[in-house]
Amino acid sequence: MKTLKNTTMKTTYKMKEATNKKEAIISILDVMTENPVWLNKCSSQIFAVVYNLHNTEKRQEWLKLMDFAEVRDLFIEIKKEYYNAIDWNNKF
């Protein structure tokens, strides 16, 4: 009988912090470029639109056109899933 190894996926990726719209855009673009597994948990309409642009330049243009509140909300949604993933990985 085989024993299963712990197959928890560990990552060294660290999401960038943000204190303004410009930094939030940089952080969002960085996360979408890295495309970690936990990003699949994000489900807002804003996330879907930005994520489906498939091009960093187009994403950046779109994010710059968005209101600060929308960029902030998207950053918070992504950051929340980032911390959930960290918490989940630290349990095992």
- Tokens standing for 62? 């779109």
Q: How confident is the model at residue 11 (pLDDT cuts 50, 70, 90)?
A: low
Domain region containing 86: 41-92
Domain count of the chain? Answer: 1
Cβ 44 vs Cβ 74: under 8 Å: yes
Tokens of 2: 């085989």
Let me know if residue 19 belongs to a domain. no
pLDDT in tens, 19-66: 999 999 999 999 999 989 999 999 999 999 999 998 999 999 999 999
Q: Give the residue-averaged pLDDT of 7-18.
A: 72
Residue 72 resides in a domain: yes
Q: If DSSP codes are grouped into helix, strand and coil, which group holds residue 8?
A: coil
pLDDT at position 34 is 92
Is residue 77 domain-resident?
yes
Q: How confident is the model at residue 9 (pLDDT cuts 50, 70, 90)?
A: very low
> Considering the domain boundaries, does residue 23 fall inside one?
no
- Predicted confidence at residue 86, as pLDDT, reads 86
65 belongs to a structural domain? yes
What gap in Å lies between CA 27 and CA 23, rounded to an integer?
6
